[in-house]
């Protein structure tokens, strides 16, 4: 019995964080955001070298074959530095779908290239989570029609994983679709609208016969978004503490005032248990399958709530500077906001946690 | 990440289960019964098997095992699962303090009888004028020959009506700075000059008392630790007490009772679990309880390895007590008008457990270090934020 990270897991954390602190500095993040790019290509390549894109992919397919806890630790490090890379869709959700539901040809065709970071796959499952401005995606004879909205990491993707209304998932070549980037508050990840008009699609066979592969893909996406929020919120808390120790008013550092100290303590008291929750949810996903879905949903919804709380309080601790572009705190604020809505707002996801426990 | 118990611990769990299967029916219960042991005999049986006073040395009446956090946890889990009353280790505040800081004579005199359940204790710390600022306490003890003469008043003294002994903080060095003028005194509650008055709280019950001292004479050698170092001794005790507040396993059990209640209770003929607004509130609460449960597993793992858990430990009292209060509030709302019933009324659910908890748990948010004091400690000790400038000496 040891509820803790292993030596290897801590080394993984250190190596990823160690690189990102310099490689994805706020300066670098700003550059990407201001240039309007979809990702930091240098960072993406460097992360490929560290095995990040193949974290969940079997060694047989060129990955490193680690577990969801390792995938979550990487997400946490990326969130902590608001790294502009398409990790959630391309490195996590797409390979999960392909590994669970793909044919061996599909696995051989996609997984090694994903692991190497050679292709970026955007993921369009919003219509099956909570349809908004779309009439859904129809699937007829291997062709897809309709509008996929909020396709995650979708702006400059080479291919798409699209879920149709029958619950099946399909690989679609980017050249076959019309797409448009949707500007969001968070300029460190992209979402796109993808138009499908009798578009040729390569269906993942396992997803045509069972709803499970799609649900598993969404579960994993939720878990990883939650881990990203954990990292982003931790950085906001760390920055708050640092600021509260430096900033002086009334001849005292503001962190000595209980009003400010208590905001920091409340953030810490809310956020610290989330770390254990992410560890457990990520561990349970592989090791305790009967709890996997409920835990992924809880992690997603709870981190959305705590993330929002920390984002707001941290901004307040920083006073007027907190809302300026100069300080850049808003990159984390927006990252947390983005993670909250994608793949289901907390109210919707909690309903699924209730369903997963047989309460409805 | 390893959530399995090793073979050694599995075997230990089996052993505890077997004991409970064999002897559980002999455990004492409030209404008694011919086949039942008295609480003291039950405690004795548990000590013999190593399920009570487990790590207290044999020469002081305990079982004398090496500390093993996981075994302690397994014993607690199995007794809870079997719904058999667990044993105790004397008094979880006084006994560890005396073992750590008492003289050999004090250990022999106090620990054994406490562990055997022959002597019970109450704690004399808080005073009407000294709550969060406990070190400002003013109950004084003056040396007169071979005796301390105690005068003053304590408050929030739970169990004072029935306790045999009190461990008490008194000011023995009035001219020293406030933290250095306190001593930790132990004495019998039968000593002349002690007046115990029940303090009725909002639940309608007198869980606490006020205790008044008028020329209470205590033998000089009944100080634990050194004279004037009582503040340090008290912090030893507080550490043991705080460890018990906000236990996440207890919270999970209560949560499951709310789940049952929501499936069972109906409003307008529809179960509360089918109402999406109640359900969302339930799920929100569940997430926080689970997060604290996993946080508890993390703290436990640090403890097993002898590591300081840091922040995950500092937040347990604050979050645990808050969640308990929120759970009770939710349960009362699930019952609605039925949640107003009290005092053995008809239609009362769960014997009024939740109504009482809603009030008691608010008391626990305040007691044992208020939520605001907890936030100061988290801010200062875990996050390294500077202390508030102190005004009390300047203002004096």
For residue range A72-91, list pLDDT tens digits in order. 999 999 999 999 999 999 99
Pairwise CB contact (< 8 Å): A283 & B1: yes
Neighbouring CB atoms inside 10 A of A189's CB total: 27
User: What pLDDT, on a 0 to 100 scale, did the predictor assign at position B240?
Assistant: 61
The active-site residue out of B147, B210, B241, B252 is B241
Instruction: Tell me the average pLDDT across A179-202.
Output: 97
The beta-strand segments (E) located in chain B are 121-124, 140-144, 147-155, 165-171, 182-188, 194-199, 208-219, 223-224, 266-267, 270-271
What residue in B sits closest to A269 (Cα-Cα)? B315
- Residue B55 structure tokens: 């790590």
Q: Compute the nearest-CA separation of B222 from chain A (Å).
A: 39
What residue in A sits closest to B298 (Cα-Cα)? A3
The predicted model scores a pTM of: 0.94
Using a CB–CB cutoff of 8 Å, tell me whether B9 touches chain A.
yes
**Residues of chain A with C-beta less than 8 angstroms from the C-beta of B365:** none
**Residues of chain B with C-beta less than 8 angstroms from the C-beta of A68:** none
Q: What percent of chain B has pLDDT over 90?
A: 83
Q: What confidence tens digit (pLDDT) does each residue in B326-380 have? A: 999 999 999 999 999 999 999 999 999 999 999 999 999 998 889 999 999 999 9
* Cβ B115 vs Cβ B95: under 8 Å: yes
Using a CB–CB cutoff of 8 Å, tell me whether B288 touches chain A.
yes
Using a CB–CB cutoff of 8 Å, tell me whether B376 touches chain A.
yes
Nearest Cβ partner of A4 from B290, B298, B385? B298
What residues have CB less than 8 Å from A254, skipping those under 6 apart?
Answer: A243, A244, A247, A248, A260, A317
**Residues of chain B with C-beta less than 8 angstroms from the C-beta of A257:** 388
Confidence of residue B30 (pLDDT cuts 50, 70, 90): confident
Pairwise CB contact (< 8 Å): B372 & A258: yes
- Residue B230 structure tokens: 């009582």
* Cβ B157 vs Cβ B208: under 8 Å: yes
Pairwise CB contact (< 8 Å): B389 & A252: yes
Of A240, A243, A265, which to mutate for an interface test with B (greatest number of B Cβ within 10 Å)? A265
Longest dimension (CA), chain B: 75
**Residues of chain B with C-beta less than 8 angstroms from the C-beta of A301:** 283-284, 287
- Residue B216 structure tokens: 């209470």
Cα gap A98→B25, rounded to integer Å: 56
- Residue B234 structure tokens: 């008290």
Which residues 346-375 of chain B have a CB within 8 Å of chain A?
372, 374-375
Tell me if residue A328 falls in helix, strand or coil.
coil
- Residue B324 structure tokens: 């308990």
Q: What confidence tens digit (pLDDT) does each residue in B118-154 have? A: 999 999 999 999 999 999 999 999 999 999 999 999 9
User: What pLDDT, on a 0 to 100 scale, did the predictor assign at position B242?
Assistant: 55
Pairwise CB contact (< 8 Å): B315 & A354: no
User: What pLDDT, on a 0 to 100 scale, did the predictor assign at position B83?
Assistant: 85
User: What pLDDT, on a 0 to 100 scale, did the predictor assign at position B396?
Assistant: 45
**Residues of chain B with C-beta less than 8 angstroms from the C-beta of A349:** none
**Could you give the ipTM of this predicted complex?**
0.97
pLDDT averaged over every residue in chain B: 93
Q: What confidence tens digit (pLDDT) does each residue in A53-69 have? A: 999 999 999 999 999 99
Query: Given phi > 0 = left and psi -120 to 50 = alpha, else beta, which region is B117?
Result: left
Cα gap B253→A350, rounded to integer Å: 21
Of B104, B96, B109, give the one whose Cα is nearest residue B56: B96
Cα gap B396→B394, rounded to integer Å: 6
Burial class (CB within 10 angstroms; exposed 0-12, middle 13-18, buried 19+) of B391: exposed
Of B287, B290, B296, give the one whose Cα is nearest residue B315: B296
* Cβ B317 vs Cβ B359: under 8 Å: no
Question: Which residue blocks in chain A are alpha helix, DSSP H?
Answer: 7-23, 26-35, 41-49, 68-80, 94-101, 104-116, 126-130, 205-209, 212-246, 258-287, 289-317, 330-341, 346-356
Cα gap B347→B338, rounded to integer Å: 7
Cα gap B350→B261, rounded to integer Å: 10
Tell me if residue A295 falls in helix, strand or coil.
helix
What residue in A sits closest to B262 (Cα-Cα)? A359
Confidence of residue B395 (pLDDT cuts 50, 70, 90): very low
Q: What confidence tens digit (pLDDT) does each residue in A123-149 have? A: 999 999 999 999 999 999 999 999 999
Q: What confidence tens digit (pLDDT) does each residue in A31-50 have? A: 999 998 889 999 999 999 99
Pairwise CB contact (< 8 Å): B304 & A2: yes
User: What pLDDT, on a 0 to 100 scale, did the predictor assign at position B246?
Assistant: 65
- Residue B132 structure tokens: 């969060």
* Cβ B343 vs Cβ B352: under 8 Å: yes
- Residue A186 structure tokens: 């968070």
Pairwise CB contact (< 8 Å): A272 & B388: no
pLDDT above 80 (res B297): yes
pLDDT above 90 (res B237): no
Pairwise CB contact (< 8 Å): A274 & B291: yes
**B78 catalytic residue (yes or no):** no
pLDDT above 70 (res B31): yes
Instruction: Tell me the average pLDDT across B188-192.
Output: 98
Helix (H) or strand (E) holding B257: helix B248-264
Pairwise CB contact (< 8 Å): A283 & B3: yes
Using a CB–CB cutoff of 8 Å, tell me whether B49 touches chain A.
no
Nearest Cβ partner of B287 from A253, A255, A301? A301
């Amino acid at each position: 019995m040891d509820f803790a990270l292993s030596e290897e897991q801590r080394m993984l954390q250190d190596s990823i964080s160690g690189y990102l602190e310099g490689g994805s500095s706020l300066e670098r993040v700003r550059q990407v955001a201001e240039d309007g790019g979809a990702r930091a290509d240098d960072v993406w390549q460097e992360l490929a070298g560290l095995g990040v894109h193949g974290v969940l992919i079997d060694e047989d397919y060129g990955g490193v074959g680690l577990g969801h806890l390792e995938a979550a630790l990487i997400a946490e490090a990326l969130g902590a530095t608001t790294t502009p890379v398409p990790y959630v869709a391309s490195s996590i959700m797409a390979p999960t779908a392909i590994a669970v539901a793909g044919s061996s040809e599909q696995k051989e065709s996609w997984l090694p290239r994903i692991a190497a970071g050679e292709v970026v796959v955007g993921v369009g499952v919003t219509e099956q989570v909570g349809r908004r401005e779309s009439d859904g995606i129809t699937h007829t004879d291997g062709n897809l029609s309709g509008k996929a909205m909020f396709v995650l990491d979708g702006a400059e993707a080479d291919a798409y994983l699209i879920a149709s209304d029958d619950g099946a998932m399909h690989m679609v070549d980017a050249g076959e679709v019309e797409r448009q980037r949707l500007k969001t508050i968070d300029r460190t990840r992209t979402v796109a609208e993808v138009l499908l008009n009798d578009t040729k699609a390569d269906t993942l066979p396992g997803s045509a016969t069972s709803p499970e592969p799609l649900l598993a893909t969404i579960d994993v996406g939720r878990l990883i978004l939650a881990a990203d929020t954990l990292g982003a919120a931790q950085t906001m808390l760390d920055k708050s503490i640092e600021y509260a120790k430096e900033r002086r008013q009334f001849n005292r550092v503001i962190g000595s005032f209980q009003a400010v100290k208590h905001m920091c303590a409340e953030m810490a008291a809310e956020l610290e248990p989330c770390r254990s929750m992410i560890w457990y949810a990520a561990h349970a996903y592989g090791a305790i399958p009967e709890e996997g879905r409920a835990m992924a949903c809880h992690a997603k919804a709870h981190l959305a709530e705590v993330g929002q709380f920390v984002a707001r309080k941290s901004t307040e601790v920083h006073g007027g500077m907190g809302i300026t572009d100069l300080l850049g705190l808003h990159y984390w604020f927006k990252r947390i906001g983005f993670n909250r809505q994608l793949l289901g707002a907390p109210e919707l996801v909690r309903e699924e946690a209730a369903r997963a426990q047989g309460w409805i | 990440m390893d959530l399995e118990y090793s073979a050694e611990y599995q075997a230990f769990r089996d052993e505890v289960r077997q004991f409970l299967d064999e002897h559980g029916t002999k455990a004492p219960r409030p209404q008694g019964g011919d086949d039942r042991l008295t609480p003291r005999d039950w405690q004795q049986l548990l000590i013999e098997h190593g399920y009570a006073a487990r790590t207290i040395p044999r020469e002081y009446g305990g079982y004398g095992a090496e500390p093993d956090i996981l075994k302690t946890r397994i014993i607690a889990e199995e007794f809870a699962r079997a719904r058999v009353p667990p044993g105790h280790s004397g008094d979880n505040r006084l006994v560890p303090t005396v073992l750590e800081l008492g003289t050999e004579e004090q250990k022999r005199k106090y620990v054994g009888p406490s562990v055997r359940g022959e002597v019970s204790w109450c704690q004399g710390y808080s005073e009407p004028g000294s709550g969060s600022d406990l070190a400002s306490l003013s109950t004084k003890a003056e040396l007169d020959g071979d005796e301390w003469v105690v005068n003053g008043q304590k408050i929030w003294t739970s169990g004072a009506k029935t306790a045999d002994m009190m461990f008490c903080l008194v000011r023995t060095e009035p001219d020293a700075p406030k933290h250095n003028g306190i001593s930790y005194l132990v004495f019998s509650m039968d000593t002349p000059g002690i007046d115990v008055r029940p303090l009725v709280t909002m639940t309608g019950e007198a869980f606490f008392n006020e205790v008044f001292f008028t020329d209470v004479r205590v033998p000089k050698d009944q100080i634990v630790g050194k004279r004037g170092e009582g503040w340090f001794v008290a912090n030893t005790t507080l550490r043991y007490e705080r460890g018990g507040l906000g236990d996440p396993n207890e919270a999970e059990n209560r949560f499951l009772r709310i789940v049952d209640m929501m499936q069972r209770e109906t409003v307008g003929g529809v179960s509360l679990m089918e109402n999406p607004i109640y359900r969302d509130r339930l799920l929100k609460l569940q997430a926080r309880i689970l997060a604290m449960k996993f946080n508890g597993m993390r703290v436990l793992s640090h403890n097993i390895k002898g590591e300081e858990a840091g922040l995950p430990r500092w937040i347990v009292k604050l979050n645990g007590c808050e969640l308990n209060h929120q759970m009770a509030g939710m349960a009362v709302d699930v019952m609605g008008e039925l949640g107003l019933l009290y005092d053995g009324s008809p239609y009362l659910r769960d014997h009024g457990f939740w109504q009482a908890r809603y009030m008691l748990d608010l008391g626990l948010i305040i007691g044992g270090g208020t939520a605001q004091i907890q936030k100061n400690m988290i801010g200062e000790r875990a996050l390294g934020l500077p202390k508030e400038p102190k005004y009390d000496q300047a203002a004096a």
